[in-house]
């Protein structure tokens, strides 16, 4: 049998660099060939070592090698080349695919096929970070929380969004490096920014913003905690528990400096550098201030995080995305503005940026703040609040934590995902009966009922977060002696949801903080005022506040009572007339002549705001 095998025609040896080729053979093929001696780590290859590597593996076309030398493609850049880059090098379609396939099928890189950004490869250190329990938990956290119960396509998770942000972060900084060599962006900077993009959402809890936006403020009212703080703490835990510092050093990072830099990109410094002349960051000097605007831009909100979630959320929600981030990449530059190096764009791109913020607002209006998805978020919050004292999660050194206290221990927090929903729903613990009942209502679509909402006018004073907890009692008490209702409402029967809609900077126009350069002068940037832009593109105001009323009781008498209480409360506050209610009845409820019997009646007999209490 052995003899028969020996007599067979020898198999063609596998091309060096294929997935199953050992690294020793991979580098041996280079060392035994003419050309510069390769460094063991491909990231340290020089341009000539890259040319030698390509030549010995069948890609020695003189035109390709000329472009490699002209563009100064080093080892790190080689494995970040995209199909469009190779097309610009003059390669045919078949040769492009052959080279990309060869480059991407190596032991130390991983290729992602993303529905939004297509194929892109990940640096080996990024792969090491992804393949950890702390990062993998993002697979089990819905990007849009309760919105999935309204939009069936919104099943995507924080995991794929984080991959996309890491990819875009690398593309943006690489673009700046190639376009402006004087910025002295090095490979270490690029890798750190990619890691920050990859890890910026590690701190999200179950159902994403529901956890830090609704649950934690109610469960721990003495704690001010946001997911950005959780992301920083989880990143530290990820690095320490997986012993990643040696790997960071192996790929050219300096952990003492770069871990600080990565965390600063996610959460920012203790005091914003935008409000003081003293440079507050420690990870990078003031000359590289623009690097802090890539992942989480505190200046104007234009960053790769937003670029990814706009494209990704629109794709899964089935909503048109009118913003093209690829066009932004074509015109991005760094200019010095008021002694600060800032990311700027071409003056003609201002319309594209307004489209971006309009798309964001449209997503909030149509999906993120959808009246049904918001109440589902609130019902999940109520269930978690009921279950919180009875759920135990084991953290470091065996210490037990609850849902609300798991944020104090990253080992415990790693175990907390959307799966807590099913854990409660399928439990048999009598102590979880109340929480289980709420989740069963969600499963059976027996939701709290939306009653009405009011949009505050510019003359009305905005409600502050500190006042939110008093609103249910105020509305329950808003009843005149003339109101004769057949149902009594208490504060615990109603939910008031205050929804703030804006362009990301409260009542400010974020474009006011964007700097633009011109075609004739790309070294100096300036601001463009709202008056210089078409009035058809710019809104008159940039923030508005909606107040929504929901009722936990679902019988028609209670809903009608809630409706009348809300109308009276709005009148007492001198708020505008509430939007026509969704309450439907089969005949008049109570003694109010203003209650419509059906949809046609509601259209003809709209509730009279001034006479509702008669």
Catalytic residues: 227
Cα–Cα dist 461/470, whole Å: 16
Taking CA 235 as the corner, what is the angle to CA 229 and CA 240, rounded to the nearest 5 degrees? 130
The answer to whether 179 and 290 are in contact (CB under 8 A) is no
Cα–Cα dist 537/491, whole Å: 42
Cα–Cα dist 134/415, whole Å: 9
The helix/strand/coil state of 142 is strand
Cα–Cα dist 275/269, whole Å: 12
For 68, the token pair is 């490699």
Q: What is the DSSP string of 362-423?
A: HHIIIIIT-HHHHHHHHHHHHHHHHHGGG--EE-GGG-EE-TTTGGG-HHHHTT-STHHHHH
Helices (H) and strands (E) in the chain — how many of each?
A: 26, 10
Q: Which residue has the tokens 């900084």?
A: 173
Q: Is residue 76 exposed (0-12), middle (13-18) or buried (19+ Cβ within 10 Å)?
A: buried
The DSSP element (H or E) to which 110 belongs, if any, is strand 110-114
Provide the 8-state DSSP code for 552: S
Residue 231: closest CA among 194, 191, 202: 202
Cα–Cα dist 474/485, whole Å: 17
Q: Is residue 582 exposed (0-12), middle (13-18) or buried (19+ Cβ within 10 Å)?
A: middle
Residues in the chain: 614
Orientation angle between helical segments 47-56 and 62-70, nearest 10 degrees = 160
User: In Å, what is the CA distance from 528 to each residue of 330, 346, 508, 520?
Assistant: 20, 11, 15, 16
Look at strands 543-551 and 400-401 and give their pairing. Answer: unpaired
């Amino acid at each position: 049998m052995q003899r028969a095998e020996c007599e067979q025609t020898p198999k063609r040896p596998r091309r060096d660099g294929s997935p199953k080729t050992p690294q020793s053979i991979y580098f041996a093929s280079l060392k035994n060939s003419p050309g510069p001696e390769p460094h063991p780590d491909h990231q340290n290859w020089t341009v000539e070592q890259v040319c030698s590597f390509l030549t010995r593996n069948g890609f020695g076309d003189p035109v390709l090698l000329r472009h490699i030398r002209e563009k100064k493609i080093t080892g790190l850049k080689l494995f970040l080349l995209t199909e469009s880059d190779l097309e610009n090098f003059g390669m045919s379609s078949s040769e492009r695919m052959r080279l990309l396939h060869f480059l991407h099928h190596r032991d130390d890189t991983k290729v992602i096929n993303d529905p939004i950004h297509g194929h892109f490869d990940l640096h080996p250190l990024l792969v090491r970070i992804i393949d950890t329990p702390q990062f993998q938990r993002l697979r089990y956290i819905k990007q849009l929380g309760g919105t999935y119960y309204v939009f069936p396509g919104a099943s995507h998770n924080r995991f794929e969004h984080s991959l996309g942000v890491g990819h875009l972060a690398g593309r943006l900084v690489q673009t700046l490096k190639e376009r402006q060599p004087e910025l002295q962006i090095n490979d270490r900077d690029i890798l750190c920014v990619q890691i920050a993009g990859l890890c910026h959402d590690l701190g999200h809890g179950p159902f994403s913003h529901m956890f830090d936006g609704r649950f934690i403020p109610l469960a721990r009212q003495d704690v001010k905690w946001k997911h950005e703080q959780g992301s920083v703490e989880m990143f530290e835990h990820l690095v320490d528990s997986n012993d990643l510092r040696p790997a960071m050093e192996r790929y050219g990072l300096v952990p003492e400096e770069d871990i600080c830099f990565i965390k600063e990109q996610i959460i920012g410094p203790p005091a914003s550098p935008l409000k003081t002349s003293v440079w507050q960051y420690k990870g990078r000097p003031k000359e590289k201030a623009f690097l802090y605007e890539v992942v989480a831009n505190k200046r104007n909100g234009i960053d790769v995080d937003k670029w990814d979630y706009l494209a990704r959320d629109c794709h899964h929600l089935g909503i048109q995305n009118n913003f093209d981030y690829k066009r932004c990449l074509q015109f991005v530059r760094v200019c010095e503005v008021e002694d600060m190096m800032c990311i700027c764009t071409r003056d003609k791109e201002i319309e594209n940026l307004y489209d971006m913020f309009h798309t964001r607002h449209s997503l909030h209006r149509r999906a993120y703040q959808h009246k049904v998805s918001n109440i589902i978020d609130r019902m999940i919050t109520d269930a978690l609040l009921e279950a919180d004292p009875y759920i135990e999660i084991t953290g470091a050194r065996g210490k037990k934590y609850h849902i609300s206290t798991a944020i104090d221990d990253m080992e415990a927090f790693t175990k907390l995902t959307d799966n807590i929903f099913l854990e409660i729903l399928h439990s048999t613990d009598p102590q979880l009966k109340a929480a289980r009942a709420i989740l069963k209502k969600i499963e059976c679509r027996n939701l709290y009922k939306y009653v009405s909402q009011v949009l505050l006018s510019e003359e009305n004073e905005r409600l502050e977060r500190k006042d939110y907890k008093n609103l249910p009692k105020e509305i329950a008490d808003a009843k005149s002696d003339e109101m004769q209702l057949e149902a009594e409402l208490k504060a615990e029967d109603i939910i008031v949801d205050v929804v703030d809609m804006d362009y990301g900077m409260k009542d400010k126009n974020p474009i006011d903080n964007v700097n633009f350069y011109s075609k004739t002068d790309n070294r100096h940037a300036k601001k463009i005022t709202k008056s210089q832009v078409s009035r058809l593109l710019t809104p008159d105001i940039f923030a508005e506040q909606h107040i929504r009323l929901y009722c936990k009781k679902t019988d028609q008498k209670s809903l009608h009572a809630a409706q009348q209480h809300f109308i009276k409360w709005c009148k007492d506050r001198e708020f505008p007339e509430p939007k026509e209610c969704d309450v439907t009845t089969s005949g008049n409820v109570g003694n109010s002549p203003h209650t419509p019997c059906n949809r046609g009646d509601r259209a003809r007999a709209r509730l009279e705001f001034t006479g509702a209490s008669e």
